[in-house]
């Protein structure tokens, strides 16, 4: 238990030391002769007080855990779905689109670029309304703290997905990202920013820890680094070591005033070429959060697993025959 581990830390020693000194001063005022018996008594007092403090910490820990469970539990939401559980936070109906394509309970998702876990979340509605769970990945440590305060029923990884062991992350709210992957438009919009070194992990290793390599829904929104992330799992997708039923991937580039059509099209073409190369996936649709729609203008592009789609619908999204 974390509590017991922390109980051996320097902060507890400070507490014990303070109270021991307090008792020492009290006793030395009352006892004129400093004997071995006094030392023996003081040592026992220190042990007793240390044990008492640890017991108090354990009680507080369990009390907080109980309060945390009361704050929000998956079972409560499934039995008593309220209005809060039916709120969609997606920018362009990504969550509803996923459920409309593959309506299922208790699915598993990955949301990479999870932000604060609620604002613009593509997975919170699936979790609360339909009992899904999964993995939230966010590189910004400040945003990770906000995710933890939501007490979501998911795994949370604070770091980046990369072949490197660490990377420099530029903190800039929704515009933040890995320094090496930010373009000039993003840098221009970051009027005030801070950099922090974050740990990086291979997704294959992370999924291995979770004993799950099949992802029902993968939401990818990492401020222009989508293809870079996808390259790190290309071979695993080709071999089937990682399988995904449905993807929503943000590709649109915004300079703060308008859509950068040329760069957006470059991203979209890159994604189409990527999925054509690995095989097994087909483009389903594009999603937009405003009146702009179509190639180079929509916010996200949706890809579906051909086998999963054909097992359910019998024909491809474009009406073609399943092979």
**97 and 15 together in one domain:** no
Mean pLDDT of the residues in the chain? 78
From the number of C-beta atoms within 10 Å of its C-beta (0-12, 13-18, 19+), residue 245 rates as: buried
Q: Which is higher by pLDDT, 12 or 207?
A: 207
Per-residue exposure over 48-74, b if at least 16 CB sit within 10 Å of its own CB, e if not = ebbeeebeebeeebeeeeeeeeeeeeb
**24 and 162 together in one domain:** no
pTM value? 0.72
Residue 6 — φ and ψ, nearest 5°?
-70, -25
Q: What's the pLDDT score for residue 189?
A: 59
Strand order across the beta sheet in which 160-161 lies:
160-161, 194-201, 166-171, 177-178
**52 and 199 together in one domain:** no
Q: What's the pLDDT score for residue 56?
A: 34
**307 and 262 together in one domain:** yes
Between 182-191, 249-258, 259-268, 295-304, the lowest mean confidence (pLDDT) is in 182-191
Contact 46, 16 (CB under 8 A): yes
* pLDDT (average), residues 26-50: 42
Q: What's the pLDDT score for residue 5?
A: 28
Taking 70 as the threshold, does the pLDDT of residue 232 lie above it? yes
Between 188-192, 211-215, 223-227, 285-289, the lowest mean confidence (pLDDT) is in 188-192
Question: pLDDT class for 166, splitting at 50, 70, 90?
Answer: confident
Q: For residue 184, give the CATH number of its domain.
A: 3.40.50.150
How many residues can be counted in the chain?
Answer: 323
User: Number of folded domains in the chain?
Assistant: 2
Q: What's the pLDDT score for residue 77?
A: 44
> Across the chain, where does the E strand assignment appear?
108-112, 133-138, 155-158, 160-161, 166-171, 177-178, 194-201, 214-220, 243-250, 281-287, 300-305
Question: pLDDT class for 97, splitting at 50, 70, 90?
Answer: very high
Q: What's the pLDDT score for residue 201?
A: 93
């Amino acid at each position: 238990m974390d509590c017991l581990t922390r109980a051996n830390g320097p902060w507890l020693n400070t507490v014990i030391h303070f109270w021991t000194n307090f008792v020492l001063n009290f006793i030395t005022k009352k006892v004129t002769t400093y004997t071995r018996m006094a030392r023996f008594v003081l040592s026992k007092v220190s042990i007793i007080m240390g044990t008492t403090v640890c017991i108090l910490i354990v009680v507080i820990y369990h009390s907080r855990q109980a309060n945390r469970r009361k704050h929000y539990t998956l079972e409560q939401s499934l039995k008593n779905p309220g209005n809060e559980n039916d709120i969609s936070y997606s920018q362009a109906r990504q969550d509803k689109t996923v459920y409309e394509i593959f309506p299922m309970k208790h699915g598993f998702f990955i949301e990479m670029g999870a932000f604060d876990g609620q604002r613009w979340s593509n997975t919170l509605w699936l979790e609360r309304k339909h009992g899904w769970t999964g993995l939230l990945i966010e590189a910004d440590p400040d945003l990770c703290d906000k995710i933890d305060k939501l007490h979501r029923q998911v795994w949370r990884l604070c770091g980046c997905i990369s072949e490197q062991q660490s990377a420099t992350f530029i903190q800039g709210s929704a515009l933040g990202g890995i320094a090496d992957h930010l373009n000039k438009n993003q840098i221009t919009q970051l009027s005030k920013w801070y950099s922090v070194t974050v740990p990086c992990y291979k997704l294959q290793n992370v999924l291995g820890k979770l004993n799950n390599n099949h992802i029902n829904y993968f939401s990818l929104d990492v401020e222009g680094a989508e293809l870079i992330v996808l390259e790190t799992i290309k071979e695993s997708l080709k071999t089937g070591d990682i399988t995904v039923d449905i993807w929503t991937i943000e590709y649109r580039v915004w300079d703060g005033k308008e859509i950068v059509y040329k760069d957006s099209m470059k991203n979209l073409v890159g994604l189409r070429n990527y999925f054509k190369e690995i095989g097994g996936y087909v483009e389903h649709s594009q999603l937009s959060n405003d009146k702009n729609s179509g190639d180079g203008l929509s916010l996200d592009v949706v890809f579906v697993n051909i086998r999963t789609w054909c097992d359910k619908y019998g024909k491809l999204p474009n009406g073609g025959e399943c092979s």
